Amino acid sequence: MLPRGSDRRPGQARPRIRRWLLHCVGRDRRALLRRRTGPGRRRACGPAMSEDYVVGAAIGDGLMGPRYAGRYRPSGHPVALEQVPRPLSDRPEFVDRLARAGKAAHGVTESHVVAVYDLVRLGPNLYVVTELVRARRLAALLGAERSLPLPVALTIADSVLAGLEEIHRAGLSHGDVSPDVVVITPAGGVRITELGVAAVLAADPTIPGCPALEPPEGAAPSQAADLYGAGALLRELVSGLRPEQAGPWTGPGSLEPLVSRSLAPEPENRFPTAGAFRQELQAAAAALLGTGWRVQSDLAVRVTRPLGPQAPRRRSDRTVTVARAGEPAAPAPVAPLATAGQDPPGGLSPEPPAGASPGSPPSGPPPPPPPGSQLSGAPLPPPPTTGQAPLAESEEEAAAAGSPAEAASAEPTPPPAAPEVVGADSFGPALHWSPAATGGGDAPSREAPRRRRRRGLVIALAALIVIAAVAAAWLVVLSPAPPTTSTPAPLAVGNNVHLTVQPGQSGGCGTTFSFTATGTVSGAGTLTYRWVKSVAGSAPIYDQYSLAITTHESSFSFTIPLQLTGPASLAATVTFEVISPRARSATETIHYTCAH
């Protein structure tokens, strides 16, 4: 639950966060879990129990653990919930560092950074609640295509630097800039994930494989280290060379000085800021492709089509060297730390895994893990339930959901005891007379008195059975009929659906518009609705959701944020549509003007 005095919730423009308790198993979870488990470990204090969230289907895994789709009950807004492994939630000093980093990261609302909402305890598990982004990991795209066309590569690098520029402006550093934490939406948008978490992981020497690429000065998070990671990313996007691969620079000559400067061994010789790096990149892109280089990118098409086989990625702790064409590049050994998780062959996943699965990389592309896969020999715990059916995502998202998330557990749980069989002979073998029971001798004689006594017992027992049957019949006749359960009426939506926008219908640079749709409902059933966002000159963007409505609910309220960036003067239209059980819609138009 959020602190008193806060009425902002997930789905609104600036939801507040109460506190953080984020834990990451890293890219090599087995070893860390073995070190952290054992009897007598004290549970760290955490947030209070919450019933505000519904946990749905697993959609992948993040840096900390399995990730689930979910929704926020009061508003119905979809969210992502990342499970925190219990062994790591027992580390108070780690919790404290994550709490401070999480609160600071919560203040970053740049459109290229995935938002963070809340931390909740549902049943025995802790979850970090973030924005639910339907996207594909850049690592999966690079795994299938190796290198990308120049307009696509420069668009991705420019967007990553835009996100880093805002992160650094807030006085923070990301800590792990790599293809594993960059995701791409169906519209071609580029988002940075794991803000706040990655920096704490990189600063913790007990977690192996964090960050993905260690700069020469060490793994401690810093803005200079972020620019080093951005340079390695640009190198891979343009030339197809991963950080662990040596080779000459094969890209355009005007980009080689940018990559070499960002990968300088001394932090003071790199770009002073992400903004300076981005400015140089944009100038080089305009010289190579013209001023309209961004519109030449087909990133939206590439990210939505099925991907072919993907080569496994390896986490690297070595530095990257850039050699000009014709110059030999000395290879360096690379220790295989882990293999990044794979995206499904076709379609997109809501927030695809940004982390990596443990173990040695296989010889070929690994298949998605089967249901119930595990990391340390412990069975996969089911997601906690809150009394409602799991969240029903849109058909596109449900069909494209990734492999089930892997869950970390402290110790292998012993198998349950075999169930007790209860049947006609649930008390063991029938008792019978045996000569050995009386110490031997002949069987009893069949004397008439014994037979008469036996017949008397049988008659008495039969009489008792008849009396009991008559009494039971009278009880059935005299007892009142059980109450009948009435079937709830089917779901119906009121005639009017309202859509409002805050802070108003016009705004300038940095304005975040918050759209809220409200309406009335009756009965029970599934409410299917969607948001349609359209900016002048671009194709509409559709986000469809389904929500289970019970008879206890009489209204709904859904909220989404919309932030426009960059110099422009345009109009944007947002429409809320109820698709079933009956069509309803409402539309609002905003006007955005920014000169710089």
For residues 346 and 315, the model is more confident at 315
Distance (Å) of CA 547 to CA 195, 197, 313, 382? 29, 30, 37, 21
Averaged pLDDT for residues 247-271: 93
Q: pLDDT at position 39, please?
A: 36
The most confident of the ranges 47-56, 471-480, 563-572 is 563-572
pLDDT grade for 16, boundaries at 50, 70 and 90:
very low
Q: Are 238 and 147 in contact (CB under 8 A)?
A: yes
Distance from C-alpha of 466 to C-alpha of 472, rounded to nearest angstrom: 10
pLDDT, mean over the chain: 70
- Token pair for 433: 């007379």
Confidence of residue 246 (pLDDT cuts 50, 70, 90): confident
User: Looking at residues 370-395, what average pLDDT do you find?
Assistant: 32
SS3 content of the chain, % helix, strand, coil (to 5): 25, 25, 50
User: What integer pLDDT is reported at residue 312 of this predicted model?
Assistant: 62
Asked if 176 and 197 count as a contact pair (C-beta separation under 8 A), the reply is no
**Does residue 383 register a pLDDT over 90?**
no
pLDDT number for residue 345: 35
Assess contact for 533 and 540: CB atoms under 8 A. yes
Instruction: Tell me the pLDDT tens digit for each residue of 304-330.
Output: 888 766 666 655 444 455 554 444 444
Q: Which CATH number fits domain 492-594: 2.50.20.10, 2.60.40.10, 3.90.15.10, 2.130.10.10?
A: 2.60.40.10
3-state secondary structure 145-209: HCCCCHHHHHHHHHHHHHHHHHHHHCCCCCCCCCHHHEEECCCCCEEECCCCHHHHHHHCCCCCC
Residue 541: in which H helix or E strand, if any? strand 541-549
Q: At what angle do helices 150-169 and 223-239 cross, to 10 degrees?
A: 170
pLDDT at position 500 is 92
Mean pLDDT along residues 273-281: 96
Answering whether pTM is above 0.95, one says: no
> Is the confidence at residue 148, as pLDDT, over 50?
yes
pLDDT at 557: 85
Q: Is pLDDT at 260 greater than 90 in this prediction?
A: yes
Q: At what angle do helices 274-289 and 223-239 cross, to 10 degrees?
A: 20
* Residue 51: band (very low, low, confident or very high) from pLDDT cuts 50, 70, 90: confident
pLDDT value of residue 453: 62
Per-range mean pLDDT, top range of 118-132, 251-265, 295-309, 481-495: 251-265
Residue 417 pLDDT: 32
Nearest to 53 by CA among 68, 67, 75, 70: 70
pLDDT reported for residue 265: 94
Cβ neighbours of residue 320 under 8 Å, at least 6 residues apart?
213, 231, 232, 235, 243, 263
How much is the pLDDT for 477?
53
| Domain residue ranges of the chain, discontinuous segments joined by + | 29-377+392-400, 492-594
- Answer whether residue 73 shows pLDDT above 80: yes
pLDDT score for 423: 28
pLDDT surpasses 90 at 25: no
- The number of C-alpha atoms within 13 Å of 196 and in the hemisphere containing its C-beta is 30
Is pLDDT of 368 > 70?
no
Q: In the prediction, which pLDDT does 271 show? A: 97
Give the three-state DSSP class for 211. Answer: coil
Q: What is the pLDDT of residue 450?
A: 53
∠ Cα 509 513 518 (to 5°) = 175
Is the confidence at residue 38, as pLDDT, over 50?
no
Q: Which two tokens stand for residue 411?
A: 């110790």
- One of 1.10.510.10, 1.10.1370.30, 1.10.8.60, 3.30.1490.20 is the CATH number of 29-377+392-400, namely 1.10.510.10
| pLDDT of the residue at 564 | 78
Helix (H, G, I), strand (E, B) or coil at 550: coil
What confidence score (pLDDT) does residue 50 get? 65
Of 123-132, 139-148, 255-264, least confident by mean pLDDT is 123-132
Q: How confident is the model at residue 18, as a pLDDT?
A: 38
525 or 364, which is more confident: 525
The answer to whether the Cα torsion of 197, 342, 205, 89 is positive or negative is positive
When pLDDT is cut at 50, 70 and 90, the band that residue 174 belongs to is very high
Local structure of residue 47 (DSSP, 8 states): P
